[in-house]
């Protein structure tokens, strides 16, 4: 058995509540070395860099949007092709015949397994009851 820890939260339980009171140590009040510049006063280099970054971001967004649109159009075109869409009852009949062939083979396999199990049951009955080979 594991040793219990005091105050530790176990899985499925809430963490211990913090009690009211004085904080351990007040945060020291420090003054920044230089006063921060207002946001409206950017240098020309900073403005040029911001414009360059914004243009790059917009170009990437447009490329992603056009790429997604091309993929969507490609999927639509492939879904509408004549080879993917069956035409009339003849195509449906061909598909159904193919599926029924698999179903029939599965049913044959099931019948063979059933016949084998039933045969073992009859054989064991003959050994136990009729011939008395196995004493009960």
Contact 38, 46 (CB under 8 A): no
In this predicted structure, what is the pLDDT of residue 68? 85
Domain-wise residue ranges, the chain: 43-84, 95-136
Which residues does 7 contact at the CB level (< 8 Å), separation at least 6? Answer: 16
Predicted pLDDT at 11: 63
Name the nearest CA neighbour of 82 among 72, 91, 73, 69. 91
Has this prediction a pTM greater than 0.85? no
pLDDT tens-digit map of 79-114: 655 555 556 777 888 888 889 999 999 999 999 999
Q: What is the pLDDT of residues 16-39, one digit of tens each?
A: 677 766 656 655 666 656 666 666
Tens of pLDDT, residue by residue over 29-78, are: 666 566 666 666 788 899 999 999 999 999 999 998 888 888 877 777 76
CA distances (Å), 37 to each of 40, 51, 102, 108, 116, in order?
8, 20, 77, 85, 90
């Amino acid at each position: 058995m594991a040793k219990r820890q005091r105050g530790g939260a176990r899985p499925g339980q809430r963490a211990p509540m913090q009690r009211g009171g004085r904080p351990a140590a007040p945060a020291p009040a420090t003054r920044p070395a230089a006063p921060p510049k207002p946001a409206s006063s950017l240098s020309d280099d900073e403005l040029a860099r911001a414009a360059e970054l914004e243009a790059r971001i917009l170009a990437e967004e447009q490329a992603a949007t056009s790429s997604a649109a091309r993929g969507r159009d490609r999927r639509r075109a492939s879904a509408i092709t004549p080879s993917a869409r069956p035409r009339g009852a003849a195509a449906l009949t061909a598909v159904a015949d193919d599926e029924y062939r698999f179903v029939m083979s599965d049913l044959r396999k099931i019948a063979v397994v059933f016949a084998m199990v039933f045969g073992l049951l009859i054989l064991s009955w003959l050994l136990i009851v009729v011939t008395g080979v196995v004493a009960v």
